[in-house]
Amino acid sequence: MTDASAAAPPPPAAPLPPLDELLGTARVVALPLVTRFRGIDVREAMLLEGPEGWTEFSPFAEYPDDEASAWLAAAIDFGWNPTPPILRDRIPVNATIPAVDPDSVAAVLARFPGCRTAKVKVAARDQTLAQDVARVRAVREALGPEGRIRVDANGGWNVDEAEHAIHALAPFDLEYVEQPCASVADLLEISIRTKYMGIPIAADESVRRADDPLAVAEADAADILVVKAQPLGGIRRVLELVDRTGLPVVVSSALDTSIGLAMGAHLAAALPSLDFDCGLGTASLLAADVSHAPIAPIDGAVEVRRVLPDPELLDRYAATPERTDWWLGRLGRAYAVLASGPRASGRHAK
């Protein structure tokens, strides 16, 4: 399949299924990571089986219930509604480099076979800019001059720090800088300050964790949007958001299992255009997954397909009874938010 200029509209969404129907198939897993990432060593996720197939509900543990409800809306959308028509059956993806020492970069890249783009984590609280520069330099040396490098600060810099860091990292020929600052106002300021350098600014948290995900585009504070299916309420909501902004997008993941990555791949496949490699190769950061046929990079791309979990893996990596009860309670609370209002939380209903 090839990209097309327009996609057919998705079919209408089904009504909210009963809570008992969700609880009846829920499985909670705890998957170890290869390298500590985002401050965790184990990724927990709840898997649900709907009439359209398996789906995932996996907001990070610290997220409040109203925010988690958007993730549940996405899970229901993917498991209970037909997916929009796809325009491509393979999605080019980037490698993801955690905040590792330069000596570990080659080993991480090796887990992403064929990927010629790398997203490098920077601005970790316990690291210095010098360490970030050394890591990015190691990635450039490993990829060679033709490889593409993007850096992700997760909003970890203030404007002055971001300006200094972008200057320090610019010699490595950056594709873009993702979320250098936390607020939309600061993103706009750093975009103005560094415009002469020609390095695009991408927004992630300012889209998926914002009261109004359109605000960053309306403020002209970013050149690229990073979108994730789960946090934004599902494939349909993201397609609507992208259509309204008119900005190029990168589809990324939230350290999902392969079932969640399948949701992201279907989103990327339904976009009218896809100009950048996507962040959907993160199964390579997991030391275990829920399927023996994971959504993992092959020749720099992932397939667009649904994933059937392996019962043996669901049992092997089942969360403890205490953590399973916690997730079941969270599911009920997030469901209550959905049942009392729009299909996703009001934070994403603009």
pLDDT(73) > 90? yes
8 assigned to some structural domain: no
Residues 280, 344, single domain; the answer is no
From 157, 151, 148, 147, select the one nearest 135 (Cα to Cα): 151
Distance CA 285, CA 271 (A): 25
The SS3 assignment for 95 reads strand
Q: Of residues 93 and 207, which shows the higher confidence score?
A: 93
Do 169 and 301 lie in one domain? The reply is yes
pLDDT of residue 12: 58
Query: Comparing 209 with 326, which gets the higher pLDDT?
Result: 326
Please tell me the distance from the alpha carbon of residue 146 to that of residue 159, in angstroms, as a whole number.
30
- Containing 97, the helix (H) or strand (E) segment is strand 95-97
Catalytically annotated residues = 121, 228
In a domain, 32, yes or no: yes
- Model pLDDT for residues 266-309, shown as the tens digit of each residue: 999 999 999 999 999 999 999 999 999 999 999 999 999 999 99
The answer to whether residues 75 and 154 belong to one domain is: no
Tell me, yes or no, whether 190 and 244 share the same domain.
yes
Residue 264, classed as helix, strand or coil, is: helix
Do 40 and 172 sit in the same domain of this protein?
Answer: no
- Is 65 a known ligand-binding residue? no
- Does one domain contain both 233 and 320? no
Give 110-126 pLDDT, tens digit per residue. Answer: 999 999 999 999 999 99
- Co-location of 136 and 52 in the same domain: no
- Do 24 and 80 lie in one domain? The reply is yes
- How far is residue 110's CA from residue 29's CA, in Å, rounded to a whole number? 26
Contact between 69 and 345 (Cβ < 8 Å): yes
Whether residue 349 is predicted with pLDDT greater than 80 in this model: the reply is no
**What are the contacts of 187-195 at 24+ separation with CB within 8 A?**
187/216, 187/219, 187/221, 187/222, 188/219, 188/220, 188/221, 189/159, 190/159, 190/162, 190/163, 190/166, 191/220, 191/221, 191/222, 191/223, 193/159, 193/163, 194/163, 194/166
Instruction: Give the tokens for residue 194.
Output: 């560094």
Bridge partner list, 33: 286
Name the residue with higher pLDDT: 214 or 179. Answer: 179
Share of the chain above pLDDT 70, in %: 93
Q: Does 170 map to a domain?
A: yes
CATH number at residue 225: 3.20.20.120
**What integer is the mean pLDDT of 206-231?**
91
Q: How many CB atoms neighbour CB 320 within 10 A?
A: 11
Residue 182 neighbours by CB under 8 Å, 6+ apart:
155, 205, 206
Number of compact structural domains in the chain: 2
Tell me whether residue 14 is in a domain. no
**Do 46 and 112 fall within a single domain?**
no
Q: What is the dihedral of CA 91, 296, 230, 336, to 10 degrees?
A: 140
What's the rounded Cα separation, in Å, for the pair 348 and 313? 34
- Is residue 178 a known part of a binding site? yes
Q: Which of 104, 153, 159 is nearest to 285 (CA)?
A: 104
What residues are paired with 97 via a beta bridge? 120
Distance CA 133, CA 169 (A): 6
Q: What H or E segment, with its residue span, contains residue 132?
A: helix 129-143
Determine if residue 204 is labeled as part of a ligand binding site. yes
State the sign of the Cα–Cα–Cα–Cα dihedral 96, 97, 99, 100.
positive
Residue 41 lies in a domain: yes
Nearest CA to 317 out of 36, 111, 45, 41 is that of 45
